[in-house]
Structure 1
């Protein structure tokens, strides 16, 4: 044990003085005057990934390069950056041993740098092979080059030279030829403090003729393990195609292990055709089933290629076509489409029912023309409005003239068509009896029999189920529930309400006239109607 203790310092002393590395030594060769970089890899056994890397030189004496200043490093012609040790211009003074470690001797890695002055043996060359008529980029080795992030060192463009020629060469051949072969030298220049340092590599290029692929016969169709779906009793033909290059090659069909006959009198047979084109033979062997049977479905048929160089086989099977299942997708889509159309139709009709009805009535004449014995289309009965919101005399005259002259309605007017001297209630009931519709018009002042008469004829209107149209104003609509007589409120609930909005209701194409005409029956004197453009 004491012997080992005394020998260990001696061993380390010999290593430091003689440069003999006790373990894991990396050999590096560099030509005198050129740059070289040593790199200290990560030690897998160490967990100190952020520890400081210490570079030590054992060339003449042991020197800690890491703790040297930048000026001292430049004076020695070296640059230490992290895990990299860059020797700017190698000389005999730089040859020897170097080590890197993480703060102590444990995990220490050793390098032996050899500086040579003459051309080294061929093993240091980086051979490259290209083929004629193909693209050939020359590859300059990236061996012992400084890392790209090394401070103050900038790489320049690679320079190529061919041995025996003085002019630089392009490092890329779009189509390399045989005469491009030779020994090429690539130079990697690096700029450091306004001075260029080079790294030179030798790349022998060998240009070979492009090898022609061997022509091998092959079956092109069918593919491996193809399944053919057929109908029982059907005639089926399956083609096996192959490309061959010898007249001794052939293609045939096998039923299991026995060969299918070429006699067309059998239920299953095959025939073939052969086509020769510039030394390439295309052969097609057709397997024929006269009538597919259950027995045929249980067999495996093999197309076999027999050749002097190679043989290949493709096996196929027959299977009965599956019974197609009914698809409910078209039915579902049809139902959805019908429902969408129905919904759109209902929405369009509800939204535009008035315009559609008037268009059909005025343009196509789609309305009932049955005679009911009535003399008037409508009876305009005015009643006094308790507010000032009723139609004035001009509005009433406009309402009467537009219905009669513009739209051709036959109106019964109390002040025009009722004979004088007749009892008011009886006269009103006669007008109602002779009219198809009663239109209640609020007026201010009241030119008619008065709103008090509504209570007297209310029972008669309800009993006869007379069609009622109740014209109201915007003000009447707002105060209708509280200020109108009880009889008028009851009549308003049984009839259809149309709102008069003053000046905006006067145009013949306004919503008021459309709604009023929609609730009125079609005029019997259709010839008097002057059609209006329908606007939505």
Structure 2
């Protein structure tokens, strides 16, 4: 390490250096680049000189770089989040050419410091009633693909969000704008901010000659075997200029019988005098694989200037990807429609499937060797709105005769002399569901037995269906016995609205009941009930 410092001290006096002044806002990302973006593998040594000590950044471990908030990548030194600790003079020395060392002076400023008035500010001029696009500077930013640009945001000096394009700019748009470039690196987001001072003038705009589009280095996505066009536009102030295309330094011809060629057009600019718009369109009749590895350059030559840009081609995912995406979208839409239809008509769908599968052994598959499909058990209604004896007979008869359910009735199927609680539990044990029917007055076995057996019902996870009337449903809260309130929370409910029961009542009751273990005797409801 000592010899390395002596080496740096020695070579620092070999040739004079121009120090590049860099102003960076506290907390922002900044990159010091020792040479061009094209890295040739040369080992680069960095050092930072402060008032107290000299720190050498060379071959540091990843943990040491993380501790200092730095990233040494190829010939770049990247400060992830600038602070006063990073302020000072930096020098870099490529070991293959020690005479080409570079020097930087970093000044870290805050919003309230005076450096913000003259450092890191960029001027831009636009003209009234013309289009104006704010340009976010790209100085001292990572050029490696390891740093992914997430986007650029703009806001005014007062913090308000701003657009970066004004189709018809006015003088009132003059002012200070701040752009923030966000980069993704190793799963973390880092920002670099620049201040742009926009001056909207009322005079005649100056003519910026040269190629306007496409941007240098742009990649155009194409599909192999298909046609493609790339248009290059330029502005010149005389008609003796030429705009043409080259492929790997070879001229592209204007012969439209070839697989690829170009054609050009010339037009006057309506808003600017004495200037001419030129365009040259590169046309591919069929894009081949070999085109993807070629470099295409649009070149402008005139008496005033020579200018060119380079573009490349890249293969798109192709139509198969579009078709696959469309198929997936169709499947998702169909599934959504099916789910929505089922949710809306799930009762009708369930009953329909039960009816269709009944003839193919559905009932035998669902049988659990119990004697009854349901046990109709009465509880005392807290109002006089319970089911009468005729209503209860109608309920039991319809379920048995018309829908094929095997129903257990206390007053019909329980042997005389058996203890009430024991008899009720036997009925529950032999039934696949329990239907609780509100009655007035309280019939056998009575609501009192529910208080004794409700624990057994909950422990056995018995399927419970409550039949309410409109009166009992309105008065349930606070007036039901505690046992009934607990059971009502564990079961489903169906509302009885009087005789004859509606089709909706029967559908909901059959939906909550298990499928009958025998085929229904009738498919249409009788009107006698």
Instruction: Return the index of the structure with the highest Cα Rg.
Output: 1
Would you say same fold, with TM above 0.5? no
* Structure-1-length-normalised TM-score: 0.39
